[in-house]
Chain A
Amino acid sequence: MLNLIKNEYIKIFAKTSMKVLLILFFITFIGFNILMKVSMRDTDSTDVEINNYRERLYDELKDDDKTYEYTIDGEKLWSVNFSKYIKDNDIDDEDPRIETLGSLYHLEKNMKGKKYDPYSGSGNQYRSYLVYRYILDNDIEYYATDEDIDGMSSGYGSNDFAQAFNMSISMEVLFMIVMVAIAGTIVSSEFASGTIKFYIINPVTRGKLIISKLLAIVSLFIIGSGVIYVLSIPINMLLHGTSGMGTQVLVVKGEDITAIPMLIYSLKSYGITMLGHLIYILMAFMLSSFARNNALAIASSIMLFALGSTAVEILLAFDQDWARYIIFANTNLTGIYKGLTQFPEQTLGFALGVIAVHFFLMILTAYDAFTRREI
């Protein structure tokens, strides 16, 4: 089996078109990172600016002798005297904690509505309060919230590295399209070029042949995405400095906050994104196994990638509940995990189940089409 997979790798990488595609991807990947650095420079704060900002906040807070009370729906959460807090905790005008204190200072102290709802935005202040308190209590310098990483907000604290890194690994979607092109031709090109005959006339069952192609595709996708993730670390360290490496991601769940190192949290959401993207690659692979036409498999997969979720939204608008069983209704795993679902009671387990069933059916279709085909 390993020999068969090796054969597939050789065939994929020997093609000139593939080499061009990979070089283009690499240039785009590096170029995108540099472009991001350039565009961030405009909003980038220099050390002097940061120090000026901290000094200004420090001057404002150290003289405010009032005690503030933080409440939610009349219930008392915390009371603080900022000048006393600064004195007690030995905070000077260059301490990063002063920024968090400033954020808390400017937050409205009387919050209404307990539960955080990302759709209406209600409860946002309470959520911010929880995050700031956590940062202050645990003395975290670089942070981002789970919503920043998962692309639902664009805060990233004051942290360029975390933002740039997560943008950089989002280039995986481009790699997915490259993989769709490979998967969409891996079987059909054997037919188109006539090489299928010498490929079949070997002491290897067709089942093994098609599985080796599938494994080559899936492993290449995993390896390639892994390279994107790993390469994004040194590239962004080079562009944005190493200080953001220790960024903590604050995961807010109800009233509980947990801090997870960013490189680990991002890996998790990266994996979930990849799982969603694998659908389109498998779809191209399946189409490739019974189409003689290379373009058909690629074009239809990319079209479904672009239109699949729109189609679900249209069905949803017409109250078609069965649309929940469509795979495109279940690809936003990160959102579903957080409870942001399009359909009522659409749990993560349900979504994973729908995905698993589709994966199974697509692989079975590809297997069946290839093993029974008359050549």
Chain B
Amino acid sequence: MSTETVLTIEHLNKSFGKKHIIKDLSMELNSGEVYGFLGPNGAGKTTTIKMIVGLLRIDSGSIKICGKDLLKNYEEAMGNIGGIVENPEMYKYLTGRQNLRQYARMRKGVTQKRIEEVIELVGLSNWADKKISKYSLGMRQRLGIAQAILHRPKILILDEPTNGLDPAGIKQMRGILRKLAHEEGVCVMVSSHLMSEMELMCDRVAIISKGELIEVQTIENLVNENSSTQQYIYQVNDVEALKKLLLDMYKDNEGVKAEQEDERTLVLTIPNELEKDLPKINKAVIEAGIELTTVSHKAAAKLEDAFIELTSDEQGGGQIA
């Protein structure tokens, strides 16, 4: 399947009052990829998404969807987009199927068969004739997905799509989205602040902070590039002694850090190239008479570190705008 650029955002700007929320944002999204849109709360994720789906007006810049300008060719451009923004709110007094029929009437080429197909796909066959007022948040989220893919859009935009889903539902959703992207060539744009989620789902990730695009990378590159170091967790009886020992061993190497976490735990940070030294370090620890309970590799939250590193300001904390 050949990839093509389906969504082009150029020099997008948006202010609310005097507050400049989105600053000169440019992005390109391709068909067949799951594109993660990552940023801390208030970074401008939802604002950007709302502009793409026509909920907010654009101050300046342009959004092109499959080559059609959103402002000049609104209906044609929007015909290629499906999405969920914030909570999936449907007409509570209608059934799931009646809700989908509402949206089918507003879009081109949605047959009765297609409606049944998407109901089946999101696993709501037994609930389609029940009113939305009886649905749980997870079920509404599924119906939201059904609504979004009803007209087979080329771009699917989902704001926090796993909100309210149980673990099984999240896994199923991930499967649906990856299948849509990789088998049907849909461009799936997913926003989230849950890094672990993104790591499992996305092919590429864009990180935005304070309304500015910081980095766009494939997941592998992002994790590797921003993790030049490895961390190991030592559980010992005497943390002070261990710390002294380690710092003595590497007093010339600034990349090595030993930080005490609690009275029995120490986190050792070493550059990637020193990983081969581990057996040597461990031997020295034993020889120094320090009781070593366990050593473990701190592997989790790779993207999370990259994310915090990229979005943190001078004070070192993740910002909340």
Contact = CB atoms under 8 A, between A and B. Distances in A.
Interface of A: 3-4, 6-7, 10-11, 14-16, 193-195, 197-198, 200-206, 372, 374-375
A200 B74 CA distance: 12
A198 B89 contact: yes
A220 to B, nearest CB: 17
For the residues of A in contact with B, the DSSP-based class is helix
Given A7-B105, A198-B147, A204 B75 contact: yes
B73 to A, nearest CB: 10
A201 B89 contact: no
A7 B106 contact: yes
B11 interface: no
Nearest to A201: B53
Contacts of A203: 74-79, 106-108, 151
B75 to A, nearest CB: 5
A197 B147 CA distance: 12
Contact of B78 (A7, A16, A201, A374): A201
B55 A201 contact: yes
6 contacts: A3-B106, A10-B102, A15-B93, A197-B55, A201-B83, A203-B79
B98 A202 contact: no
Interface string B248-260: 0000000000000
A204 B79 CA distance: 9
B86 interface: yes
A48 to B, nearest CB: 57
B57 interface: yes
B56 interface: yes
B152 to A, nearest CB: 12
Contacts of B82: 201
Nearest to B79: A203
A375 B91 contact: no
Contacts of A4: 105-106
Given A6-B105, A197-B89, A202-B106, A14 B94 contact: yes
A367 to B, nearest CB: 15
B85 A197 contact: yes
B50 interface: yes
A205 B93 contact: no
Nearest to B95: A14
A195 B91 CA distance: 7
Contacts of A6: 105
A195 B105 contact: no
Given A201-B83, A375-B50, 9 more contacts: A6-B105, A198-B144, A200-B53, A201-B55, A201-B85, A202-B107, A203-B74, A206-B54, A375-B56
A276 to B, nearest CB: 32
Nearest to B74: A205
Given A201-B55, A374-B56, A193 B89 contact: yes
A145 to B, nearest CB: 48
B86 A197 contact: yes
B54 A200 contact: yes
